[in-house]
Structure 1
Amino acid sequence: MAALPAYVDVLLDGYSEEFDSGVIKSEMERGLSKYRVGQSRVVMTVAVNLAFESADDGNSFDDWYFNQIKRIGWFDWLDPRTNARRSVRFKDGALGQLQPMSGGFGLSKRSATLEYLR
């Protein structure tokens, strides 16, 4: 299986996690609603900023994204919060904007949202 390349740094700035609870709510005629678990596993989404230390690293990442995982493939990623290795993919196969952080794209970042089943 592919892995997020070692030259890609995950910035903690902009890092956030959320999930869909997978709970089904049934309205009652009287009293409180009833809840039940609708799915045993939930989809976790993780918003990250990926940093590249050179223009070559940014170009290599584009090559990895388009040719190795083909935009929708699964890859291994080291979760910085738990230090657990997870099998993730880019949500909707999409990446965010590439933003230069220095002249000539010597340092740049790109936003992305990862998803996995918990």
Structure 2
Amino acid sequence: MSVWPAYAEIRFADYGEDFDPSVERTEMERGVPKQRLLNTDVLQTIEASVQFRSAQAVEDFERWYFIDVKRIGWFSMEHPRTGEPINARFRNGRIGRLQPLNTLFRFAKRDLVIEYVRAPQ
């Protein structure tokens, strides 16, 4: 399995987490709606900006994305908030639009969404 590249730095200024709780809700004719769990595991998402400190890092990341991950593959990485190892992938295989942060792409970023399966606690 491929590993998240060290030169792709996750920026915490644009960071967010969310998950699908995997719950089915049924409205009742009277009274409180019923709810039930659909799955024990949930799909967690991490929305983040990834910063590159050189034009070469931008090229290396694209090469890693196309060749190693093959756009939809899984990769291992350290969870940005907890430091726990996770196996993740890019949601819908997208890595977001490349945005220069200064001239000649010496600094650049991509806004992307990473997803992984979160096991029950």
Q: Normalized against structure 1, the TM-score is what? A: 0.97
Name 2:95's counterpart in structure 1: 95
Letter in 1 for 2:105: F
SS at match of 2:92: strand
Aligned partner of residue 104 in structure 1, secondary structure: helix
Aligned to 1:105: 105
Say yes or no: does 1:63 pair with 2:67: no
- Give unpaired runs (5+ residues) of structure 1: none
2:48 is matched with which residue?
A: 48
CA distance in structure 2 between the partners assigned to 1:20 and 1:98 by the alignment? 27
Alignment size in residue pairs: 118
Aligned letter for 1:11? R
Q: When the two structures are superposed, what TM-score results if normalisation uses the length of structure 2?
A: 0.94
Q: Corresponding residue for 1:6?
A: 6
| C-alpha distance in structure 1 between counterparts of 2:29 and 2:110, whole Å | 49
The Cα offsets for residues 61-92 of structure 1, whole Å up to 9 and x where unpaired, read as: 00000011100010011112111111000000
Of Structure 1 and Structure 2, which has the larger fraction of its residues in strand? 1
Unaligned runs of 5+ in 2: none
Deviation at 1:55, TM superposition (A): 0.1
In the aligned structure 2, how far is the partner of 1:110 from the partner of 1:27? 41
Identity %: 40
